[in-house]
Structure 1
């Protein structure tokens, strides 16, 4: 009986001896308490504690952790948005005691500060500014959290606004506005392209007309030079200028009839087309030139007479003054 009791006692002592050893994982800290009072902090490795006296009260994770906080708030124009703020934090290794004993629920504390800062910053901004200045909001959150959580042994590594989600109706309205702006820009570009095409076409037509006019002028100049040469040749063989002109007109008249007749698809009819037509044309041209010369001479004489009358009216007052003196 005594041997059995001895064996049991030895077994219990052996179990207690084994339980006095414990290990702490890397990037973890263990809190040792003795009779409910803080004793020590143990870091990574194999450790020993007094059986039945020392107790592992808890373990603290020293790795960088991330907490995602989803917040619903409104902007300056009363548009409600949901924002996702990711907070990356860790326990300061030198402040494990504060992190374990001063703050019981760190996630809730961090969430409260994030809500407070975001709901203070976002209502100052319009919806477009919230998207553009999300980094400024994240910096404000980090600054506020660092000031508050350092006291409790936590270091805020970074804060990121990973999502901004407006109401579905606001999204649709923004998409419609964006689509309308793009259509407006497309219409402006198309109008500008059309204007460029019209201007280029007008310049091309103007250049074409200029070259065409220059060609016609050159053609008429050569025709006139040819007519002068033809008249000179005819004068040399004893044909006077009037007969030469009539011969040239008749020749050109028949050349025109020949060119019209050579085109089988032409529907043009030249009237009159009798041999007398060339002579009548020449007589009419001569009469027109003669009448034009007479009108020109009459206008010159009238203008000269008007100038003489104006000169006489300007001299008459001086003549009357001289008569009065006499």
Structure 2
């Protein structure tokens, strides 16, 4: 009798203990009675009907993430490998949504398989219309395309897409090497073009500098020639004034003014001899030559006197 009571007490204790269920924070439990949905149990200590009511599934209402890897083929038959990160959560905590999450799939493995295949199919359908060279530049477009399609599907399953990121897009090793070669050749081409542009600019600047130097030198030469001309003109003017004054003084002293021309002629010969640097000047030293020279100087003297009288 005592043994029976002990056994009965143990069974009663087991039944009492099994009638309490603890649900962790961030989770919701779904219960069934004889295989049919009954109710939801929320975080904390919950009571259920012993032996009849069972916890069918505990659903996490927290954000969940999963990393995905899959392959697609472009229109030009290039294999593309994707690595993505998917962030999702239960749509809301309403009873119908939670029931959909609990009973839509047999287990978590079936759900993940369906999720991966759906995303993979969406990406494959998009990539199949693009060329290999376009795929890397369409990362954002691929992500937006998948988000638009997968979000609708997840809502039907009771989930909500929070974020989708394409972390890595790669190709076969041969294609990766060829792409690297293309990038390297483009960089070399750009470097050569930049070097050519730099050389062209250097030569252009040098030509401009030479042109400016020539202009400056020409302007300086022009100004120097102008100053030399002014100097010669002033020199001649002063010489003419001096000769006029000397001629007037000699006339007042009743002297022949041709002596001035003869003096200038002899001074010129002296200057040639003193300042000569190798040049040869031939002068007629004969009596006929001297006579002709004196006649020329007298003619010049008369011309000067005529100008003075005027």
**Equivalents in 2 of 1:144, 1:177: separation in Å?**
34
Q: Which runs of 5+ in 1 are unaligned?
A: 255-272, 284-326
TM-score, length of structure 1 as denominator length: 0.69
Q: Is the 8 A contact 1:99 1:152 kept in 2?
A: yes
Partner of 1:210: 215
Partner of 2:149: 144
Task: Choose which of 147, 151, 173 in structure 1 pairs with 2:178.
Answer: 173
The answer to whether the aligner puts 1:200 opposite 2:205 as a matched pair is yes
**Structure 1 residue 219, shift from structure 2 partner:** 4.7
The answer to whether the aligner puts 1:55 opposite 2:62 as a matched pair is no
**Structure 1 residue 83, shift from structure 2 partner:** 0.8
3-state SS of the aligned residue for 1:78? coil
Report the count of equivalent residues. 260
Where does 1:186-197 land on structure 2 (aligned, <5 Å)? 186-197=191-202
Where does 1:233-244 land on structure 2 (aligned, <5 Å)? 238-239=260-261
Distance 1:202 1:239, change over 3 A: farther
Please give the per-residue CA displacement for 1:216-270, whole angstroms capped at 9, x wherever unaligned: 455555556459837938966824576565555444424xxxxxxxxxxxxxxxx
**Equivalents in 2 of 1:12, 1:215: separation in Å?**
123
3-state SS of the aligned residue for 1:106? helix
Where does 1:1-326 land on structure 2 (aligned, <5 Å)? 2-92=1-91, 93-94=93-94, 95-104=97-106, 105-219=110-224, 225-226=231-232, 229=235, 232=239, 238-239=260-261, 246-254=269-277, 273=278, 277-280=279-282
Q: Which runs of 5+ in 2 are unaligned?
A: 247-258, 285-310
**Structure 1 residue 14, shift from structure 2 partner:** 1.6
**Equivalents in 2 of 1:46, 1:130: separation in Å?**
52
**Structure 1 residue 15, shift from structure 2 partner:** 2.1
3-state SS of the aligned residue for 2:128? helix
Distance 1:248 1:88, change over 3 A: same
Distance 1:15 1:195, change over 3 A: same
TM-score, length of structure 2 as denominator length: 0.73
RMSD over equivalenced CA pairs, Å: 2.9
Please give the per-residue CA displacement for 1:152-196, whole angstroms capped at 9, x wherever unaligned: 222222222111112222222222222222222222222222222
**Structure 1 residue 209, shift from structure 2 partner:** 2.9
Q: Is the 8 A contact 1:90 1:154 kept in 2?
A: yes
